[in-house]
Chain A
Amino acid sequence: SPVDEEVVHDSFNQLIAEQCRNDGLSDALELQQLQRDLEEEEGRDDVPYLSRPGHEFRGDRLGRSDVEWYDGERHGDPLIAERWSSATLKVLSSMPSRTIGRSRGAIISQYYNRTMQLRRRRQSRPSIRDFSHSARPSIRGYGMEVDSTDAEGTEVSKRERLVNNLQNLSASDRVRMLRAMPLSVAEKGELRRLALQKEKPTFSGSKIPCCSRLKFYIIIAFRQSWYSWLSFVHSLQLWQVALKRVSGRFGTGVLSYFLFLKTLLFFNVFLFLVTGAFLVLPQAVHPPAAAPNRPSFSGLELLTGAGYFSDTVMYYGYYSNYTLKSCRDDVGVHNVSVSNGTSNQHCASRQNSYNMPLAYFFTIGVAFFITCIILVYSMSKSFGQSFRIDKSHSILAIKVFCSWDFKVIKKTSVKLMSGNICTQLKELLAEVNHKNVNNTACQKLWRLMIHGLAWVICIGSTFGCVLGIYHFSVYMHQTPPSNEARLLALPVLVSLINLLLPGLFNLAAWMEDYDSPSVCTYVAIGRNLMLKVSILGVLCNHWLRRVADDREIIGLTCWESFVGQELYRFLLMEFIFTLLDTLFGELLWRLFSERVLKRRRKPVFDIARNVLELIYGQTLAWYGTHCTDAHSCVKSALLGNDSELCFRLGVLFTPLLPAVQILKLLLLFYIKKEGEDKKFLITRLQSIHEQKRTPARRLTSQVGLC
Chain B
Amino acid sequence: MGTTASHLGKDLLSEYQELTFLTKQEILLAHKRFTELLTKDEKDLPNARVPVDRILTLPELKSNPFRKRICHVFSTSEHKDGSLTFEDFLDLLSAFSDSATLEIKSHYAFRIFDFDDDGTLDGGDLEKLVNCLTGETEDTRLTTDEMRQLISNILEESDIDKDGTVNLSEFQHVISRSPDFV
Contacts and interface: CB of A to CB of B under 8 A. Distances in A.
Interaction A to B: yes
B20 A80 contact: no
A179 B25 contact: no
10 contacts: A9-B119, A63-B79, A70-B123, A75-B148, A79-B162, A98-B120, A182-B107, A398-B177, A415-B137, A425-B134
A551 interface: no
A421 B133 contact: yes
A241 to B, nearest CB: 12
Interface in B72-128: 73-76, 79-80, 87-88, 90-91, 94, 96, 101, 103-104, 107-109, 113, 116-120, 122-124, 126
B162 A394 contact: no
Contact of B66 (A252, A387, A404, A695): A404
Contacts of A433: 149
B111 to A, nearest CB: 8
Nearest to B26: A234
A398 B109 CA distance: 13
B87 A394 contact: no
B157 A396 contact: yes
Q: Identify whether the interface residues of B are mostly helix, strand, loop, or mixed.
A: helix
Residue among B20, B130, B133, B170 facing the most chain A CB atoms (10 A cut-off): B133
Interface core residue of A1, A425, A698 (most chain B CB under 10 Å): A1
A180 B104 contact: yes
Given A9-B118, A422-B135, 16 more contacts: A3-B76, A75-B148, A98-B119, A98-B120, A101-B169, A189-B1, A189-B15, A231-B23, A231-B25, A393-B157, A397-B153, A400-B133, A401-B181, A406-B66, A414-B63, A694-B179
Given A182-B104, A402-B175, A432-B153, A418 B130 contact: no
A184 B88 contact: yes
B119 A102 contact: yes
A425 B163 contact: no
Nearest to A395: B157
Given A184-B88, A185-B16, A396 B120 contact: no
A68 interface: yes
Contact of B18 (A98, A101, A192, A394): A192
A426 B19 contact: no
Given A175-B18, A189-B1, A400 B154 contact: yes
A694 B119 contact: no
Interface string A379-394: 0000001111010111
A156 B59 CA distance: 41
B163 A185 contact: no
A421 B134 contact: yes
A73 interface: yes
Interface stretch (B35-43, B48-56, B139-147): B139-147
Contact of B19 (A3, A189, A234): A189
Nearest to A391: B177
Interface in B6-46: 15-16, 18-21, 23-25
Interface residues of B, number: 82
Nearest to B109: A401
B19 A410 contact: no
Contacts of A422: 133-135, 140-142
Contact of A178 (B19, B152, B178, B179): B19
Contact of B152 (A68, A75, A696): A75
B161 A404 contact: no
A398 B168 CA distance: 14
A414 B162 CA distance: 34
- Most chain A beta carbons < 10 A, residue from B75, B109, B157: B157
Nearest to A188: B19
Contacts of B158: 394, 397
Contact of A184 (B76, B130, B169): B76
Contact of B117 (A61, A98, A101, A398): A61
A402 B79 contact: no
Contacts of B64: 406, 409, 414
B76 A397 contact: no
A486 to B, nearest CB: 48
Interface of B: 1, 15-16, 18-21, 23-25, 59-60, 62-66, 73-76, 79-80, 87-88, 90-91, 94, 96, 101, 103-104, 107-109, 113, 116-120, 122-124, 126, 129-130, 133-135, 137, 140-142, 146, 148-154, 157-158, 161-165, 167-171, 174-175, 177-182
A396 B164 contact: no
A388 B179 contact: yes
Interface in A1-21: 1, 3, 7-11
Contact of A68 (B60, B116, B149, B161): B116
Contacts of B87: 184-186, 189
Contacts of A418: 65, 133-135, 140
A535 to B, nearest CB: 31
Contacts of A184: 74, 76, 87-88, 91
Closest 5 CB pairs of A and B: A418-B135, A394-B157, A392-B177, A10-B118, A422-B134
Contact of A11 (B108, B146, B163, B179): B163
Contacts of B15: 189, 192
Interface in A405-448: 405-407, 409-411, 414-415, 418-419, 421-422, 425-426, 429, 432-433
A185 B178 contact: no
A394 B174 contact: yes
A92 B133 CA distance: 32
A455 to B, nearest CB: 27
Interface in A175-216: 175, 178-180, 182, 184-186, 188-189, 192
Contacts of A406: 64, 66, 96, 182
A179 B18 contact: yes
A397 B170 CA distance: 11
A62 interface: yes
B101 A180 contact: yes
A74 interface: yes
A429 B150 contact: yes
B178 A235 contact: no
B178 A402 contact: yes
Given A185-B16, A406-B96, A101 B142 contact: no
A411 B149 CA distance: 29
Nearest to A182: B107
B157 A1 contact: no
Contact of B180 (A9, A68, A75, A402): A402
A374 to B, nearest CB: 19
A369 to B, nearest CB: 28
A601 interface: no
B104 A390 contact: no
A100 interface: yes
A79 B162 CA distance: 7
A74 to B, nearest CB: 6
Interface string A464-478: 000000000000000
Contacts of B60: 409
